[in-house]
Structure formats: structure tokens, C-alpha cells
Amino acid sequence: MNGSICNNDTTASSGVYWCESETQFSNAANITIHNVPQPVFTVSPSWTSPVDSVTLTCTVEPPSAGWRFFWYKAVPDLSTYYYPYYTYDLLPGSTTGTEQGSYIIHGQTHTAGYVCRAGRGDPVFYTLYSDVKFVWSGGVNPAASLTVSPHRLQHFSTESLSLSCEGTSTEWRVMKADENGRVSSCSIWGEITGSTCNNDTWAISGVYWCESETQFSNTSTIDFKPEEL
């Protein structure tokens, strides 16, 4: 008897599956396809001082037993121009995952991004990676700094603004997280020249910072207001 095999390596749909030839039909199998879950990830607090501990929390929805949680630090990858891509380095003690859905970082001193995912079974079935969540610090970082010009607490949305990165790295990108947590780079909303971003378009309030493949700068919260008529 000759056999045929179908390998489904793409996104599949639930339904009834069977084989058929010009003369025969096989038995049918009712197959339910479940989407790969994406974990819900939070950091607390999101703004920190050097004495703070930061708690990372990861959950899988809907909740179920048997998950182990893996924790990562986000490392900026500057090889992509428009989309801010990150690679992930496992945090200490996370190689085989943790049974607890929380991970504490003691003495957070600088801006950093974190990610989680969960896995269970043998071989391990993993969830998707979570979105990157940032812990921001406004403190001075001697290795990397963001300078905003003109320097003041409030800006009008139509005025030009210059954001410059300085530090020991040779390549930088200027980043923004808006009020909804959406992260984007200067290449989307401004013009980048060397390590300086010039924002000459309608601006959006948010948290701004510089990052290289090894460093994060201090952050600056910039509040843009509509220009009064």
C-alpha cells in the first residue's frame, strides 16, 4: 500500500481532516488547532531609583498548570533601520525556567528592557515572547547620555526639537515610548543624523532615550502641548 504524508508547517485551522483518492475516502479526524499563547508581562515599578528592586511578572492566559517561566534582558540590535529590534539574553537562574511567575531584580540602576516567555512539556512547548517592557531611570549614566535641546519641561508640538546621544558607543538610535507604551525609533518620527535626532514634525508626548548595542542612556519625559493660537 502506497502512503502519502502532508506536513503542515504554517498556521493551521481547526476542522475535520481526511484523505481521499479517485476511488477511496479515509476515516476522518476532528482536529482542534490552538494558537500559540502570548504571555502577559509587566514590570513594577517602571521608573526606578538605584535602591529599588524591580519585579518582573509573567502570566499565561488562560491560566493552566505546568508552565515554567523564562526571563530575558532585551539587547538592542541596530542592524534594522525602521523597526526597533532586540535580541534576548537569559537572566541568571533562568536557564531551565522558574516555577514562579515572578522574578526580582535587586538594585536596578539604569534603563533596561526585559522580556519573558513560558514553556512546558517534554519536549518543551514555548509560548511566544512577550512584548519588551522597560524599566526607566532618569539618573545620570556616565557611559551614555541623552541631551534635549531646547531643554525645558514643556514643548509645543510644532516646534523643532533636537535629541543627541553621547557616550562610549559609536552607533546610537533615539527611541520613544508614547503614552500607550508603543515603542518606536527616530527613523519613524524624525530625521537622524549621526547620533542626533531632529524632530521637525508634529510630536507626541512620551519617554525618550538613547540606546546602543551595549548601553542605555538616561531617559527624559517630554510633554508636548498644542501651540496656542
Residue 34 pLDDT exceeds 60: no
As a whole-number percent, the residues of the chain with pLDDT over 70 amount to 85
Residue 80 CB neighbour total at 10 angstroms: 13
- Where do the domains of the chain lie, and which CATH numbers do they carry? 40-135 (2.60.40.10), 144-225 (2.60.40.10)
pLDDT score for 229: 47
Asked if 110 and 142 touch (Cβ cutoff 8 Å), the reply is no
Rounded mean pLDDT of the chain?
85
Q: How far is CA 142 from CA 125, 168, 182, 218, in A?
A: 42, 9, 27, 9
Least confident interval from 125-129, 139-143, 207-211? 139-143
CB 195 within 8 A of CB 165: yes
Lowest mean pLDDT among 27-31, 54-58, 172-176, 205-209: 27-31
Looking at residue 103, its amino acid is: Y
pTM: 0.79
- The yes-or-no verdict on residue 22 having pLDDT over 90 is no
Residue-wise pLDDT for 87-124, tens only, equals 999 999 999 999 999 999 998 888 999 999 999 999 99
